[in-house]
Structure 1
Amino acid sequence: MLKKSKKVVVAGHICLDITPNFSSDKVGKLQEVLMPGKLINVEQADIHTGGAVANTGLGMKILGADVKLIGKIGQDSFGKLVLDILDEYDASAGMISSPNVSTSYSIVITPPGVDRIFLHNPGANDTFQANDIKDDMLEDVSMFHFGYPTLMKNIYQNEGEELLKIFKKIKELNIATSLDMAAIDATSEAGKVDWTKILERVLPYVDFFVPSVEELCFMLDREKYEEWIRKADGNDITSILSINNDVKPLADKLMNMGAKVVLVKCGAPGLYYRTAEKSIVAGIGSNLNIDLESWANREGFEESYEPEKVISGTGAGDTSIAAFLTAILSGGYTFEKCIQLAVATGASCVSEYDALSGLESFEKIEKKINDGWKKQHLLKENNNIC
């Protein structure tokens, strides 16, 4: 069981997600969905909080962690709805309600057989800054997770100066740190930022870096990312990737930047993991009591479990990270078990439209695993992901 004395702060991006429910079992390729003049019938929309603060933060709370959420919203109807939802979890106290800005929202398009498409307004998230995280918010905190700086203008501008301030401050307090990313619109301001430079500055202060493979490639190797897009031809990018040729080289770059523990989300196939040598892993916040011998010099791919059903991938990556971080906080799980719980939680999440409704306790997940829960085995012999 998780010890409540270990507190975690989850900060960064929060929004309202509006997800239309597609009535058809199969829609087709992306270009067949977003076609000018075409009408597609949908059912009642699912409306819930989204973004790393809600998905990862509330996910950790549901899994038993002692969590404080820090995000920024506007004083508008969407903002009130966000607070109402967070109140259901007794988790709204750390939210910053700001006048003269709009609450962020996303229209999440998730037709069957097609990867998610987001229409996103960053809203109040663009005004978030290091000073929004007050000292009293960090009292007795063992872990700090920040999500989606790629969607927060103040955070990524000036070569990520505000992001750097945040992580430097947290590490000075000997708090373990975690950083997640989000997809970047290549035509946006964030798409023109030198993300390699930002990662070079920030990663030495990050203990757990947990991006998706698409986000990571976009930031570190734009030319290769565009090649992936062409090869995928509207299908899921992970369907054309190789661990050795595509994922591992990106992780190599992160290790050279000073990364300690890297978890790369590779969609339905599972998670690639990589850790640094013992002397570097030793820089993780001491409050976590990480077993350095177990956590150092690790590399591998943890394949995902077969979901009972697949309704939406929304939040699956966030909740897998929620499970990973919660397992670490508990102090009672091995490195292998932390990774295993992460992929198992992601597989549970996809059974519902939102990120949280499909979550199950670690006890239930471990029982399913012990009872023979099957892996999807999407890896091929040549180490292609699919």
Structure 2
Amino acid sequence: MRITVAGHLCLDIIPNWQRGTLAALRPGNLVHMDGVTFSTGGAVANTGIALKRLGFDPILIGRMGDDPVSEISRSILRRENISPDYIALSPGETSSYTVVLNPPDTDRIFLHYPGTNDSFSVKDIDFGTIPPGIFHFGYPPLMRQMYVEQGTHLENLFREAKAHGLITSLDMALPDPNSEQGQVDWKAILQRVLPYVDLFLPSLDELLLMMDSSAYNRMQRGLLPIDTRLLDDLSTRFLTWGGNVVGIKLGEEGFYLRTGSKAGNTFGEKWRARQILAPIFKVQVQGTTGAGDTTIAGFLAGISMDKEPEEVLTLANGVGASCVEAVSSVAGVPRLNCVEGRIHGGWERITPTILHGNWHLSHNGVFLGPADRRYT
């Protein structure tokens, strides 16, 4: 099954920040760096290159200008043996870039220029040339044409993908709450798009900002209790809106999965009515850039191989864990057999702290909730 990754594509510029904290960023200060890494970023590059490194042959679709940022990005893709031919070239436009500030033991800060991502549209995708399989789209909150007009263009994109018989997948991104995309009615957009989405794979912070900004603000201040009850409530709403499979990335707390009865029609009976929390693996974290995107690469890889939901989540967490063992977004991702070897070799997991109620540990290392059809 071929995997196509479309959407947000940029160049990540990552200063190698070995000492000090963000507190050093004061007017007039010189903050010493230890080199710089150029890495393609965004959902297209991170998820796509991770799939290639795992051993798959993804198709990458995006939009860039005719500038040095585009040239560097395309050269990186070629070094990864990925053709940039599906990436639309827009003369006169400036390509997107992100400066990633990643000091030790601190989550990242992004300085982002949207560039050609804001002009990306369904016209940049020739669905007639995409082979059967999975169509994954990433980061509509960072792509203006995807959220203006109440998400009409995003809906049309997914409607078109479904019309061509593709399994559809959607990843989100965290919009700036003070920007245009942060003021959009994302609940309304999701309600119109999710009926055409088979796999909805956002992170918890993205969901809270879009669904309940006050809850997001409380979470940022450590005042919102996070447990599986919250995840159950959110996922149930998305299933009601038409979603098939809802996977919520939780960082150190793992990967939560909830599916409805319709999931069995698309992915087989083993995917119907599931409620699973998969713990992360223990690693020495070097950088978190690309962690979510590479986790999704593992998830899509598992789907393409027709694995059980428990196996898909475990593989996804294994790929994400491998990613954070390196500074850049995909350098830590090895071949698929290496990830599977570590998993089967007894790779230590970290027990989640957010379990509430009668969840129990299954024989394959994931937790099943009381709504799971295999729960006993």
Same fold (TM over 0.5): yes
Aligned-CA RMSD value: 1.7
Of 317, 331, 349, 1:343 maps to 317
Secondary structure (helix, strand or coil) at the match of 1:43 reads coil
Q: Give 1:106's aligned residue.
A: 98
Secondary structure, aligned partner of 1:41: coil
The answer for the alignment partner of 1:287 in structure 2 is none
Which range is displaced more, 102-111 or 250-259?
Answer: 250-259
User: Any residues of structure 2 matched to 1:17-96 within 5 Å, and which?
Assistant: 17-24=12-19, 27-28=20-21, 32-88=23-79, 89-96=81-88
Post-superposition shift, 1:245?
Answer: 4.2
1:38 to 1:231, Cα distance in 2 relative to 1, 3 A: farther
Taking CA–CA contacts closer than 8 Å with sequence separation of 6 or more, which of the two structures ends up with the larger relative contact order?
1
Question: Is residue 270 from structure 1 mapped to residue 254 from structure 2 by the alignment?
Answer: yes
Tell whether 2:173 aligns with 1:194: no
Q: Is the 8 A contact 1:207 1:283 kept in 2?
A: no
Corresponding residue to 2:331 among 332, 357, 361: 357
CA distance in 2, matches of 1:255, 1:381: 21
Q: Does 1:15 align with 2:7?
A: no
2:286 to 311, 321, 326: 311
User: Cα–Cα, structure 1 residues 173 and 105, in superposed 2: closer, same or farther, change >3 Å?
Assistant: same
1:366 paired residue number: 340
Structure 1 unaligned segments of length 5 or more: list them: 1-5, 233-239, 285-289
Contact 1:8 1:143 in 2 (8 A): yes
Give the residue type in structure 2 aligned to 1:69: L
Instruction: Classify 1:246/1:312 alpha carbon distance in 2 versus 1 (closer, same or farther; 3 Å).
Output: same
Relative to structure 2, which stretch is displaced further, 34-43 or 210-219? Answer: 34-43
Which one-letter code corresponds to 2:5 in the other structure? Answer: V
1:231 is paired with a residue whose SS is coil
Deviation at 1:378? 4.2
Structure 1 residue runs of 4 or more that deviate by more than 3 Å after TM superposition: 33-39, 380-383
Q: Which amino acid aligns with 1:17?
A: D
Which 10-residue stretch deviates more, 360-369 or 186-195?
360-369
The TM-score with structure 1 as length reference comes to 0.88
Quick one: distance in 1 between partners of 2:157 and 2:217? 31
3-state SS in 2 of match to 1:202: helix
Please tell me whether residue 327 in structure 1 is matched to residue 327 in structure 2.
no
What do the CA deviations read for 1:137-171 (whole angstroms, capped 9, x no partner)?
32x32110000011000111101111101100111
- Within the candidate set 182, 203, 213, 2:194 is matched to 203
Are residues 1:230 and 2:214 paired?
Answer: no
CA separation in 2, counterparts of 1:303 and 1:129?
37
* Cα deviation, residue 320, structure 1: 0.7
Deviation, structure 1 residue 247: 2.6
User: SS at 2:327's partner residue?
Assistant: coil
Q: Which stretch has the larger CA shift, 206-215 or 220-229?
A: 220-229
C-alpha distance in structure 2 between counterparts of 1:275 and 1:382, whole Å: 19
Using the TM superposition, give the Cα deviation of residue 381 of structure 1 relative to its aligned residue in structure 2, in angstroms.
6.4
Which sections of structure 2, spanning at least 5 residues, go unmatched? 358-376
Q: Deviations over 1:57-85 (max 9, x none)?
A: 12112222231111000101111111111
Residue 149 (structure 1) aligned with residue 148 (structure 2) = no
Partner Cα separation in structure 2 for residue 220 and residue 194 of structure 1: 9
Say whether residues 1:291 and 2:265 are aligned partners: no
Aligned length: 356
Aligned counterpart for 2:227 among listed residues 238, 243, 257: 243
Alpha-carbon distance between aligned partners in 2 of 1:38 and 1:351, rounded to the nearest angstrom: 30
Match of 2:203 among 203, 206, 212: 212
Other structure's SS at 1:343 match? helix
Residue 123 (1) aligns with residue 105 (2): no
Conservation of the 8 A alpha-carbon contact between 1:312 and 1:351: yes
Partner AA of 2:273 in structure 1: N
Q: Give the residue type in structure 1 aligned to 2:317.
A: V
Residue identity in the other structure for 1:107: V
Q: Percent identity?
A: 38
Q: Does 1:168 align with 2:159?
A: yes
Any idea what the Cα deviations from partners look like across 1:78-122, whole Å, max 9, x if unmatched?
111111111112321111110121110000011112111100001
SS of the equivalent of 1:42 reads coil
